[in-house]
A and B are shown apart, each in its own frame.
Chain A
Amino acid sequence: MLGLNKKDFGLLLLVAFLAVAAPFLLNPFPESSTLSFLNAGYPALMQLFAIFAIVLIGFNILFGLTGYLSFGHAAFIGIGSYTAMWMYKLLNFNVIIAIPMAMLVTGLFALVIGWISLRRTGIYFSILTLAFAEMAYRLSYSVLTPITGGETNLSPNPAKDPMILKGEDGLTVPHLFGFDLNAKQVWELGNWSFTFEAGYYLCALFLVVSFYISIRIFRSPFGLMLRAIKSNNQRMSYTGLNTKPYMLAAFVVSGVYAGLAGGLLVAMDAQAGAERMFWTESGTIVIMAILGGVGTLLGPILGAGAIKYMEKILSSISEAQLHTWLGILPDWLENAMVYIMANFFVGHAWHLTLGLVFMLVVIFVPGGLVELGQRIATKLSRKKPDVTPAGENNPAE
């Protein structure tokens, strides 16, 4: 179906289902319950899930297939954001212009940066991409301030900006042919409240299409060439294949994905700042990829979701919250536990938890969450005696 085999089509359906049903799936606890802070079904967070999943799908085409580790991918998100913002300022607020332009301009930047960075491989390639991202970040706070807004961020100014395509009484918020992307519908069902927002569903649509295209690339001759480059670059050359244009194409495709994400960020919230391009953001993208499972189809989406979820939820847990949970313990133990957790694992200190989780994953399940899922699935299926393959060599349960 759609040129996919059964298994891939199943994956596509799964992603589409998760994207459509996210407002329900991410809101399992009723509003009044003490666990409601674990809910992630509010629009701002769901948008981030979808947008970062798109970045990661693109990043995975580069890192997962070719093994080239770009350490400057956040720069492309920034470039996409600024481009979309300038489309608002110069033309109008219709995202049908802003998003494709964000992709186009980011693609051109990726072409130049890739052409230079791909003169080197391995760690030197990573360093070159990091250098470009760092330059983009520093320049946008200094000489490029007229374009990037510098420290004050770039945001539209309806009174001053030309907006030549706005027309009479045109909208001054991001919209799709006049349909406001902030429009939302709230369903109150008993104690639950589910929010459906137009903006989120635009992101979700792009996510599903992005995922579909990435499956096609994975299964295409181009995808095979990229995997071959990862496996043995030397043999590629001695097989009469010019690896340069293949690599450059992969780099540009993954840059365009990040540009799309940058455009979507601006479509959700009309402002763009350089902090999006800081090198730790690029690092987070790499960590998401590894946590989810490098080179797998579903991994990048899982990795992006897991980290964005942890970032929001863990950092929102307060000391008071911990006291209510640990109330049943003796006072001295309660205070000690709260002190340790609040200072080392949650709230501002949530990065330590992320670091520990990341270490555990890299050491024990190097294939990331996808491998973890597969292992659990094998374990479960092995419980049924008739499925256990005879003579399977599997020491120590």
Chain B
Amino acid sequence: MGILEVKGVNKRFGGLQALGDVNLSVAENTVHAIIGPNGAGKSTLLNVLVGKLIPDSGSVMFDGQSVLGRKPYEINQLGISRVFQTPEIFAELSVFENVMIPCFAKRDGAFRMHAIGDVKHEADIHDMAAAILEDVNMIDKRHMTASSLSRGDKRRLEMAMCLVQEPRLLLLDEPTAGMARADTNNTIDLLKEIKEKRDITMAIIEHDMHVVFSLAERITVLAQGTPLVEETPENIKGHPKVREAYLGEAQV
């Protein structure tokens, strides 16, 4: 049993079968990549996992609990965090405030009315936030406004915000999309470092094969809404079905 079990998931948008009978099992403490050509249903699948879309049929179990029908914030509280294609951060707030918010979410749950105490006096929150910023080497930038960070630092900040909640499953939606090679390599290193330091499962949706083969332990290939193969990276490279699906689109 993996930590995430997707069984027989179907999703239709009008006449388009976005997901057709998707079965997927992500084992605990692995990095699992989901690849596939454009329009293969990768993003739809991700949106199902985080509760943004509800599938027409099938089941999605996380650690023995169904995630279907739960709101995104409830799914997050179960232990699933998500990194977006474009970093979703609190652009107007400072780096430190950005990290404090998930700290509050972890300590106080989805809602707590806390209107009179001063943020400055929450010592435990400050310690948590400072520790994670040390971890991702951003402690020097804690007073900067998040919108003024570089693209790579925004990504780093978003990761810190996810990690401080100590999620059991981290979902990454094309974490290096639109990045220069140097930034891509930095992100790969960051992810490797994260993986080494803690017990965490990662599911990555990615176009860039360089990223996929640097990180993934298992790879699922999706085409036209259906998983074609699930294999280790070594066995994927020369797989005839994968070549067929990509048809020279990527240099597998």
Our verdict on whether A and B bind, yes or no, reads yes
A-to-B contact residues, CB < 8 Å: 3, 5, 216-217, 219-225, 227-228, 230-232, 234-243, 245-246, 249, 253
Number of A-B contacts (CB under 8 A): 107
Q: Give chain A nearest CB distance to B159 CB in angstroms.
A: 13
Among the listed stretches B82-90, B130-138, B180-188, B241-249, which one makes contact with chain A, having 4 or more residues with CB under 8 Å of it?
B82-90
B114 engages A221 (CB within 8 Å): yes
A227: B residues at CB distance < 8 A: 90, 92-93, 97
- Asked whether A241 lies within 8 Å of B101 as measured between CB atoms, the reply is yes
Answer whether residue B50 sits at the interface, using C-beta atoms and an 8 A cutoff.
yes
Within 8 A of A (CB), among B102-134: 102, 104-106, 108-120, 122
Q: Mark B59-101, 1 if CB is under 8 A from A, else 0.
A: 0000000000001110011000110100011111100010011
Q: How far is the CB of A235 from chain B (nearest CB, A)?
A: 4
Q: Which of A224, A240, A249 has the most CB of B within 10 A?
A: A240
| Contact B116 A242, beta carbon cutoff 8 Å | no
> CB distance A228 to B101 under 8 Å?
yes
Task: Give bound CA distance, A206 to B101, whole Å.
Answer: 32
The answer to whether A224 and B97 have CB atoms under 8 Å apart is yes
Contacts of A241 in B (CB 8 A): 73, 101, 104-105, 110-111
Contact of A225 among B73, B77, B101, B116 (CB under 8 A): B101
Q: What's the Cα separation between A234 and B76 when bound, in Å?
A: 12
B145 → A minimal CB distance (Å): 11
**Can you report 19 A-B residue pairs in the complex whose CB atoms are below 8 A from each other?**
A3-B118, A216-B116, A219-B120, A220-B119, A221-B104, A221-B115, A221-B119, A224-B100, A232-B88, A232-B90, A237-B76, A238-B73, A240-B73, A240-B105, A242-B110, A242-B111, A245-B111, A249-B113, A249-B115
Query: How far apart are A293's CB and chain B's nearest CB, in angstroms?
Result: 15
A232 near B89: Cβ-Cβ < 8 Å: yes
For A235, give its contact among B50, B89, B165 (CB under 8 Å). B89
List, in ascending order, chain A residues with CB within 8 A of B72's CB: 237-238
Nearest chain A residue, comparing its CB with the CB of B121: A3
Question: Which of B73, B77, B82 has most chain A Cβ within 10 Å?
Answer: B73
Complex CA gap A23/B197 in Å reads 66
B84, B90, B91, B120: which has the most chain A beta carbons within 10 Å?
Answer: B90
User: Which residues on the B side are within 8 Å of A245 (C-beta)?
Assistant: 111, 113
Q: Which of A5, A221, A246 has a CB less than 8 Å from the CB of B117?
A: A221
Docked CA distance A216–B115 (Å): 7
Besides A237-B73, A242-B111, 9 other A-B contacts (C-beta < 8 A): A5-B120, A221-B108, A224-B100, A225-B104, A227-B90, A238-B88, A239-B105, A242-B73, A249-B113
Q: Is the CB of A219 within 8 A of B118?
A: yes
Complex interface bits, B17-40 against A, C-beta within 8 A gives 1, otherwise 0: 000000000000000000000000
Complex: A3 Cα to B120 Cα, angstroms: 11
Q: Does B161 contact A (CB under 8 A)?
A: yes
Measured in the bound complex, the distance between the Cα atoms of B100 and A242 in whole Å is 16
Given contacts A224-B100, A240-B73, contact A234 B88 (CB under 8 A): yes
Q: How far is the CA of A242 from the CA of B110 in the complex (A)?
A: 5
Indicate whether A238 sits within 8 Å of B81 (C-beta atoms), given known contacts A216-B116, A220-B115, A221-B119. yes
Residues of A near B105 (CB, < 8 A) are 239-241
B115 touches A222 (CB 8 A): yes
Tell me if A222 and B114 are in contact (CB < 8 A). Answer: yes
- Known contacts being A221-B117, A240-B77, A240-B165, is A228 close to B110, with CB within 8 Å? no
B181 vs chain A, min Cβ distance (A): 27
User: Which chain A residues border B108 with CB–CB below 8 Å?
Assistant: 221
Chain B residue with Cβ nearest A229: B90
Check A238–B82 contact: CB distance below 8 A.
yes
| B93: contacting residue among A222, A228, A249, CB under 8 A | A228
Selected contact of B113 from candidates A222, A234, A239, CB within 8 Å: A222
* Choice from B81, B93, B100 contacting A231 with Cβ under 8 Å: B93
Query: Which residue of B is nearest A240, CB measured?
Result: B76
- B114 CB contacts on chain A under 8 angstroms: 220-222
Residue among B50, B89, B90, B116 making CB contact with A220, cutoff 8 Å: B116
In chain B between 130 and 181, which residues have their CB closer than 8 angstroms to a CB of chain A? 161, 165
Residues of A within 8 A of B82 (CB): 238
A239 B102 Cβ-Cβ under 8 A: yes
A317 to chain B, nearest CB (A): 42
Residue on B nearest A227 in the bound complex, by CB:
B93
Residues on B with C-beta less than 8 A from A236 are: 73, 101
- Nearest-neighbour CB distance to chain B for A73, whole angstroms, equals 20
